[in-house]
Structure 1
Amino acid sequence: MTFSIVAVDREKGDLGVAVASKFIAVGALVPWVKVGVGAVATQAWANVKLGPMTLYMLEKGFSPRRAVETLLSTDPRREHRQLGVVNAEGEAYAFTGSKCLPYAGHIVGDGFTVQGNILVGEEVLEAMAHAFESARGELVDRLLAALKAGDKAGGDRRGRQSAAIIVVRKCGGYGGCEEGVDRYVDLRVDDHPDPVSELERLFKIWELTILEREDPNDVYDLGEVAAEIQEALRILGYYSGPVTGRLDEATLRALEHWMAINNFENKMRRDGKIWGTVYRFLLEEAQRAKKTENK
């Protein structure tokens, strides 16, 4: 019912799972991840307990293979289970029971595994593995590339319904170490006709709003774009003064208010500059509002 990938970025310590299925809210059941420990996908006739139990055993020093074999040794439905596991050191192991519905299988690579059942064929897993190995960027980008490749190759032979991705990084979540949050990315599409594309759309919003990984060269001097910012904020109702092109206190207060309302508080800079991603979003929002007003 599912195709998934579990993987680690040894250098950054990121661990994650991406999954899609013709099944309601697959993200509620399949992915299990713990920072500094490992990542698990439990699927097919999923035993949800295997997720946290496998992570517990990894934390106690078990290898992925030993953890899975130990847990399945007393499982009467062992041959109906499918698991993919990777630990923080990059050891990976996958298991596909002989009674998983076809096509079912897995591929174990360097620091990752891809696995699936009720697929259109082996080409789904091959496409996922190739996409992950050849993609650039952070772990989250490579996981999304793998999921998209599996979906494009046919994915679940019954169709599409849900998708999810979770990546953990020490202090990588909203608020960072100050809040002690490790969920770098955590997104779910529970019921949608094209869940992988919808997951990608949501990630772009998450990246823009939450992630702090902008190109350091993609910035604008506020003094140089003050007129454009004033006009955009005026259209959106945050600024009522004249469009002078001068960066005054009223303009800065309006900009900060807009950023706070739009959840960009972690993207505020104190060096007289604005991130290009935020600046372009502001202009696009103003353009959309202007078009709506003119209709």
Structure 2
Amino acid sequence: MTFSIVARSGQALGIAVASKFLAVGAVVPAAEAGAGAVATQAAANLRYLPQGLALLRTGVPPADVVAGLVAADRERAHRQVGIVGPEGPGATYTGEECLDWAGGRAGDGYAIQGNILTGPEVVEAMESAWLSSPQEELDRRLLAVLAAGDAAGGDRRGRQSAALYVVSPGAGYGGGSDVACDLRVDDHPDPVGELRRLRDVHELLFGTPDPGTLLDLSGELKEEVQSLVAERGYASLDMWVGVENLENRLVSGKIDPVVLARLRDAAPDGK
């Protein structure tokens, strides 16, 4: 009922998943910075998530984690799981009674798996997309892989939900957690497309500015910004940025072109 990728890039670990299943992001993924990432699907066994992470935390390789999880599971013939750790190859398992088409592929830093798919071309397209984009940031790379699987046929029952979950040390909001991205589309006719849109919104609101593109907030530009902020009913750029949830892009004495474009496009009432 599901296709997913579990992967690592540098210190970042993440999962992207799509399914003809309500709120797949509430069931399939789990990850912990420094430990690893796990996806449980088909007849998902939610115990695999904490148990898998506990084993990864102690340094057990993904292949051995998979072996341990399924060996203790009487229903393993109906399970599918993918795991990556902080180094080395990922591991994937598909029980012999998972509904066709079902299978997976794994390699250095990734595991791809799916069940009730249109055919093996889904995981083949996903693996090709993963291997062809080594320079991309992990969240974008995972979404490209998911989109490749969706375009290749995906879940043969149709589309309903998708999710993206990425962790990296200190990458959460304000540096207060390791959760870099936790986005879910629970029920939508084009969940992968909607997930990509949400990722773009997430980058806008929670991304940080590129230092090389920052503009000096002086002269005519400073006057323009002050005028636009006043037109929108705010006393300062800081106040408008806070209302727009763009505070991660605020730099003293500078302005992020992303913020400037948003300010120029904003309606006078700030909506």
Amino acid in the other structure paired with 1:268: L
Greater shift in the superposed pair: 150-159 or 131-140: 131-140
Name the structure 1 match of 2:29.
31
Q: Percent identity?
A: 50
Name the structure 2 match of 1:204.
200
Name the structure 2 match of 1:165.
164
On the 8 A contact 2:89/2:107 being kept in 1, the answer is no
Mark the runs of 5 or more structure 1 residues left unpaired by the alignment: 239-252
SS of match in other structure, 2:211? coil
Match for 1:226 among 217, 222, 225?
Answer: 222
Mapped partners of 1:106, 1:171: distance in 2? 31
* TM-score normalised by structure 1 residue count: 0.87
Mark the runs of 5 or more structure 2 residues left unpaired by the alignment: none
Name the structure 1 match of 2:188.
192
Deviation string, structure 1 residues 109-134 (Cα, Å, up to 9, x no partner):
22101110011111111111111111
Tell me by how many angstroms 1:235 deviates: 4.0
Amino acid in the other structure paired with 1:204: D
Mapped partners of 2:266, 2:156: distance in 1? 39
Amino acid in the other structure paired with 1:139: L
Task: Please tell me whether residue 147 in structure 1 is matched to residue 128 in structure 2.
Answer: no
SS of match in other structure, 1:148? helix
Greater shift in the superposed pair: 65-74 or 97-106: 65-74
On the 8 A contact 2:89/2:106 being kept in 1, the answer is no
Q: How does 1:1-295 map to 2 (within 5 A)?
A: 1-10=1-10, 13-135=11-133, 136-176=135-175, 179=176, 181-212=177-208, 214-223=209-218, 224-238=220-234, 253-270=235-252, 272-286=253-267
266 and 66 in structure 1: CA distance in 2 versus 1, 3 angstrom threshold? same
Amino acid in the other structure paired with 1:188: R
Mapped partners of 2:251, 2:267: distance in 1? 21
On the 8 A contact 1:233/1:286 being kept in 2, the answer is no
Deviation string, structure 1 residues 148-167 (Cα, Å, up to 9, x no partner):
11111111111111111111
Mapped partners of 1:198, 1:57: distance in 2? 34
Mapped partners of 2:262, 2:237: distance in 1? 13
SS of match in other structure, 1:286? coil
Tell me by how many angstroms 1:39 deviates: 0.5
Amino acid in the other structure paired with 2:107: G
Q: Which protein is bigger by CA-based radius of gyration? A: 1
Tell me by how many angstroms 1:266 deviates: 2.1
Tell me by how many angstroms 1:234 deviates: 4.0
Q: How many residues align?
A: 269
Amino acid in the other structure paired with 2:214: V
Mapped partners of 1:32, 1:92: distance in 2? 15
Tell me by how many angstroms 1:231 deviates: 4.2
Tell me by how many angstroms 1:237 deviates: 2.7
CA RMSD of aligned residues (A): 1.7
Mapped partners of 2:56, 2:98: distance in 1? 25
On the 8 A contact 2:122/2:153 being kept in 1, the answer is yes
Tell me by how many angstroms 1:201 deviates: 0.9
On the 8 A contact 1:90/1:112 being kept in 2, the answer is no
